[in-house]
Amino acid sequence: MIVGFLRKFPSFFSSTLCKFSVNDRKCLAITYAHHEIPSVVKKPILFATVLALGIQVASAYQLHEWGTFTTVSGSDGVLLSGLQREEEPLPAFVHSHFGFENGQEASQEKLASVMKTQGYPAFPSLTKGLGKRPVSGVTVKMETPVIYFHSDKAFRAKVKVGFEGGTISQWYPNRSGGEILPEPPPAADPQKNPVPVEQWRIDFAQPYRGGIEWDVNVLSLEESKSTLTFKPRDSINWLRARVQDANLVRTDSGEMENYLFYRGIGHFTPGLLTTVSSDETLHLQNQAGADIPFYLVFERDQGGTFTWSAGKSGLRSGETIDLAKDKLMPASSAFPEAVYQSIKNGLVACGLLESEANAMVQTWWTSYFESPGLRVFWVLPSSTTEKILPLTVSPQPEKIVRVLVGRSEVLRPSVENEWVAQSKLTGDNAYVWTYTVEQDRFGLAIQERVKALGNVAAITGRHD
């Protein structure tokens, strides 16, 4: 309507819409031509002015996001499943799907409904209380994406994130909508014959699409700075993800945080093929369909010695690089500050604020750099991120920055040979292998690789 009006009266109206940005709030001005404007068009012009101003003000904010996709592959490059295990518990206030709790108690209301319909779900667990819902085919763990808002003014925001190939299993603050996990049909007699646990299994190797929605109030920057965000059961990594220059978000129920948080599990190929040849040379092939803007290779041995190499120019679409083991640079001190600065600067170059890049590196430092293994960190092309995690936001931000980092854990042939040897031990000597399969975060993936190498060493005590 406004466009048609302007076309109809080109000699009476000219406009200049100055660009808004988070750091430079320029004015929006509607200027009139020197001709006298008939009274009949004054009200439409005023309406156009107000509407344009409203649209521009609503758009004058930026949305930034970071997160991690974790995978494990054998030296042959095949992604391994079994990545549903959690590395550490989340704060108790985080929400989750039933059967996907991690540090939280299951909803008593939901549990009562399940017991009435399907009977008690005897999910396997090594701890007290309800265990984990059985899943399979999990080749990717989506870890801690957080979404920040940067705005001078308060506004209402609606956010919708899809997940092609996986479920968004945990989130905070509470969502306003999203996926509902499939459940088995009701039992004929829930009390005497509950639904078998196996019928609760979700196989992510089958097509699946998850998603989440939020409807939140974004507080002004002034109010955000004066509002208490402390929660008695915060964890250190939860705190590290907060940045002072982002707005707080608050739901209508009063839940509030410095960011929107979500995570999940799924089955898909992020886009970087990692293989290791028999001479221990690491090969990286970009299969994402677009350029990878940054990558960093890091390796830490069991003795704590680490080496690394950064590809600041990234990987072009379809490009393959070879990295011999002796080409990795040794770190010069106990704390690899050069590694920290390299990955932080790589994230900043991809669009994150320095505060956000610091928050990401510090949140994941222990997991990224203090555990043994060979891993490649690489930033997904924006087109790949949008394909896997399609994002819809209202009102539309002036700028969206999404930096999702692939964390590709890679098993060297020498390491695989060590696991094969461990899997053949018996009695007390089998302790390391048993502990790895039953307790290690990547134990199920390691076991799968050993089986693939023709050395079946199944552990019967745990089937998560």
User: Tens of pLDDT along 50-83?
Assistant: 444 444 445 589 999 999 999 999 999 999 999 9
Question: What is the predicted pLDDT for the residue at 418?
Answer: 96
pLDDT, position 46 = 46
Q: What pLDDT, on a 0 to 100 scale, did the predictor assign at position 103? A: 86
75 and 104 co-located in one domain: no
In a domain, 342, yes or no: yes
Whether 291 is covered by a domain: the verdict is: yes
Q: How far is the C-alpha of 195 from the C-alpha of 185, rounded, in Å? A: 8
The answer to whether residues 276 and 237 belong to one domain is: no
Contacts of 150 (CB under 8 A, 6+ apart): 22, 61, 62, 63, 64, 245, 246, 247
Distances from the Cα of 153 to the Cα of 54, 117, 223, 400, 460, angstroms? 13, 47, 9, 17, 57
Q: What is the DSSP string of 284-331?
A: EEE-SSS-B--EEEEEE-TTS-EEEEEETT-B-TT-EEEE-GGGSEEP
pLDDT at 127: 45
Contact 300, 373 (CB under 8 A): yes
- Choosing from 259, 291, 319, the residue where a domain stops is 259
Same domain membership, residue 215 and residue 130 = yes
At residue 75's C-alpha, the angle toward residues 167 and 460, to 5°, is 60
| Pair 219, 307 in one domain | no
Residue spans of alpha helices (H) in 182-240:
221-225, 236-240
Residue 69 domain-assigned?
Answer: yes
Q: What's this model's pTM, rounded to 2 decimal places?
A: 0.86
Q: Are residues 97 and 133 in the same domain?
A: yes
Q: Is residue 391 part of a domain?
A: no
φ, ψ at 334 (rounded to 5°): -65, -35
In a domain, 200, yes or no: yes
Task: For residue 199, tell me if it sits in a domain.
Answer: yes
Is 169:212 a contact under the CB 8 Å cutoff?
Answer: no
Does 195 lie in the same domain as 121?
Answer: yes
Do 103 and 179 fall within a single domain? Answer: yes
d(CA 221, CA 148): 12
Q: Which domain holds residue 283?
A: 62-79+269-382+404-411
Residue 434 lies in a domain: yes
**174 shares its domain with 159:** yes
Q: How many residues does the chain have?
A: 464
Q: What is the largest CA-CA distance in the chain?
A: 97
End-to-end CA distance of the chain: 58
Number of domains in the chain: 4
- Residue-level pLDDT, tens digit, the chain, 464 residues: 444 444 444 443 333 333 333 333 333 332 333 334 455 444 454 444 444 444 444 558 999 999 999 999 999 999 999 999 998 899 999 999 999 999 888 899 999 999 999 999 999 875 444 578 999 999 999 999 999 999 999 999 999 999 999 999 999 999 999 999 999 999 999 999 999 999 999 999 999 999 999 999 999 999 999 999 999 989 999 999 999 999 999 999 999 999 999 999 999 999 999 999 999 999 999 999 999 999 999 999 988 899 999 998 999 999 999 999 999 999 877 889 999 999 999 999 999 999 999 999 999 999 999 999 999 999 999 999 999 999 999 999 999 999 999 999 999 999 999 999 999 999 999 999 999 999 999 999 999 999 999 854 444 444 45
Residue 9 is predicted with a pLDDT of 42
Do the strands 249-250 and 95-96 form a parallel or antiparallel pair, or are they unpaired?
unpaired
Per-residue pLDDT, 279? 97
Q: Is residue 396 part of a domain?
A: no
- For residue 282, the cross-strand partners are 276, 323
Is 250 in the same domain as 338? no
326/255 same-domain check: no
Residue 17 burial (10 A CB sphere; 0-12, 13-18, 19+): middle
Residues 32 and 71 in one domain: no
Q: Which of 239, 259, 279 is the last residue of a domain?
A: 259
**Residue 311 neighbours by CB distance under 10 Å:** 19
Q: What amino acid occupies position 184?
A: P
pLDDT score for 464: 54
Same domain, yes or no, for 318 and 252?
A: no
Domain final residue, candidates 259, 293, 327: 259
